[in-house]
Amino acid sequence: MGIIVKKFGGTSVANIQKIKDIAARISQEKKPDDSIVIVVSAMGNTTNELFDLATQISQKPSRRELDMLVTAGERISMSLLSLALQENGLSAISFTGSQSGIITDIHHGSAKIINVKAFRIFEELNNGKIVIVAGYQGISTKKEVTTLGRGGSDTSAVALACYLKADKCEIFTDVNGVFSADPRKVSEAKFLSEISYQEMLALAYNGANVIHSRAVEFAFKYKIDVEIKSSFNKIKGTKLVDKIINEENSITAITTQKDIVLFSLNLSILNSKEFFQSISNDGVELINFKFSGDNLTLFVHSDYFNHVKQILIKQNYSYKVTKDLKTLTFVGPGLSKYSLFVADVIDYLNTKNKCKIVDLIVQEISLTFVLETELLDDILSDIHAWTFYTGEKNDK
């Protein structure tokens, strides 16, 4: 009996017709011996709408109560999809994260999965049912409802695939898979039929929204067979593999991020252990951090600005902040060695009006330029064109 985990995100279940389409697709594609577990996100913008409701009541809502509130979104999706599958003649049952046996730590809003006791899932699969699981959520070791933070449904799906020993995990999204750039921004972006876990992880960390970084970390660690594909057609997607496909090409893909915040702190007055422990406990995902002399520089997405700010205020640390930064990241094997390419990018960026290079973050398979600019999409399109098509500036 082969188990297949399928995850459908918010755009895939955004309305009743899309939920009906998913049910029809499952009905058409399901083979008699398939055991299917489906993980769903909340419909469309439901999670954001629920957060907005909470802030209309309180400017600083309890994180426990927020978890109780926002997990309703996935419960709506799971129940509707179960009904739709039943209408297509399939036997289905829906479970919340806690009913699925997803055990997490105690940190509301940013919980980490520590175990999956999927007894009920196995029982229902053995009864021939399709199991629909509410993504993004679990139950803590203190029996409290928890949420997994940004991209939590991706993490739910890959974690379930791991603990269920599934044959594969399919992540359905609104694009056909992974491209050399976001195809919604660069029409000439090249489709990638395969990409290494390492490269996908670097892309996910730096703004590619097709799968969350924590899900890729899980897949990489446990070598889960993952395919990223479209909800809206039956084209083969992008498979994550355990090796870099073509080490002769320096660049696999380019990605960007907006709304980046830079915090600058003085290490001489900072209790580093206390600060980073608070960052971890609060679920803040650092894009990067750098030490230089007595200075610590943190890069975070604006979603985490208030989290970091409150930690600094609580611990009475002074800081400087720069908002509205952007990042431009190149991912590929051995990029740290491509100094001439870096020089070409710097030359190009220096020709753009109102574009300032704030920092350059160099890692083994990625190069990230931190920028002050209002022209990020134009820059991405231009650099993608001469990187992937002219070949003029893609040499060592």
Which tens digit of pLDDT belongs to each residue from 53-87? 999 999 889 999 999 999 999 999 999 999 999 99
Residue 394 has a pLDDT of: 44
Residue 396 has a pLDDT of: 37
Residue 285 has a pLDDT of: 82
Ranges 160-169, 246-255, 296-305, most confident: 160-169
Q: Is the per-residue pLDDT at 115 higher than 90? A: yes
Q: Is the per-residue pLDDT at 246 higher than 80? A: no
Asked if residue 267 lies in contact with residue 208, where contact means CB atoms within 8 angstroms, the answer is no
pLDDT (tens digit per residue) in 271-289: 778 888 888 877 788 888 8
Measure the CA–CA gap between 151 and 69, rounded to whole angstroms.
17
What's the whole-number mean pLDDT along residues 122-148?
97
What single letter denotes the amino acid at residue 310?
Q
What topology does CATH give the domain 253-390? VC0802-like (3.30.2130)
Measure the CA–CA gap between 394 and 388, rounded to whole angstroms.
8
Residue 370 has a pLDDT of: 94
Residue 154 has a pLDDT of: 96
Residue 223 has a pLDDT of: 93
Residue 283 has a pLDDT of: 78
Collapsing DSSP states into helix, strand and coil, what is residue 61?
Answer: coil
Asked if residue 368 lies in contact with residue 358, where contact means CB atoms within 8 angstroms, the answer is no
Residue 1 has a pLDDT of: 55
Q: What are phi and psi of 267, to 5 degrees?
A: -65, -25
Residue 248 has a pLDDT of: 58
What's the whole-number mean pLDDT along residues 197-213?
93
Ranges 33-42, 245-254, 328-337, 340-349, most confident: 33-42
Residue 395 has a pLDDT of: 43
pLDDT (tens digit per residue) in 87-100: 999 999 999 999 99
By C-alpha distance, which of 104, 106, 96, 45 is closest to 72?
A: 96
Q: Domain ranges for the chain, please list them.
A: 2-173, 253-390
By C-alpha distance, which of 201, 301, 318, 218 is closest to 260?
A: 301
What topology does CATH give the domain 2-173? Carbamate kinase (3.40.1160)
What's the whole-number mean pLDDT along residues 147-174?
94
By C-alpha distance, which of 213, 311, 305 is closest to 259?
A: 305
pLDDT (tens digit per residue) in 362-386: 888 899 999 999 999 999 999 999 8
Which residues does residue 367 pair with via DSSP β-bridges, in sequence order?
A: 330, 362
What's the whole-number mean pLDDT along residues 29-45?
95
Strands 286-292 and 319-331: unpaired
- pLDDT tier, 294 (very low <50, low <70, confident <90, very high otherwise): confident
Q: Is the per-residue pLDDT at 141 higher than 60? A: yes
Of residues 244 and 320, more confidence is placed in 320
Residue 217 has a pLDDT of: 93
Collapsing DSSP states into helix, strand and coil, what is residue 331?
Answer: strand
- pLDDT tier, 47 (very low <50, low <70, confident <90, very high otherwise): very high
By C-alpha distance, which of 95, 169, 97 is closest to 125?
A: 95
Asked if residue 371 lies in contact with residue 358, where contact means CB atoms within 8 angstroms, the answer is yes
Residue 274 has a pLDDT of: 85
Measure the CA–CA gap between 295 and 335, rounded to whole angstroms.
27
Residue 391 has a pLDDT of: 47
Give 325's contacts (C-beta < 8 A, 6+ positions apart): 260, 261, 262, 299, 358, 370, 371, 372
- pLDDT tier, 387 (very low <50, low <70, confident <90, very high otherwise): confident
Q: Is the per-residue pLDDT at 269 higher than 80? A: no
**DSSP string of 261-328?**
EEEEEEGGG--HHHHHHHHHHTT--EEEEEEETTEEEEEEEGGGHHHHHHHHHHTT--EEEEEEEEEE
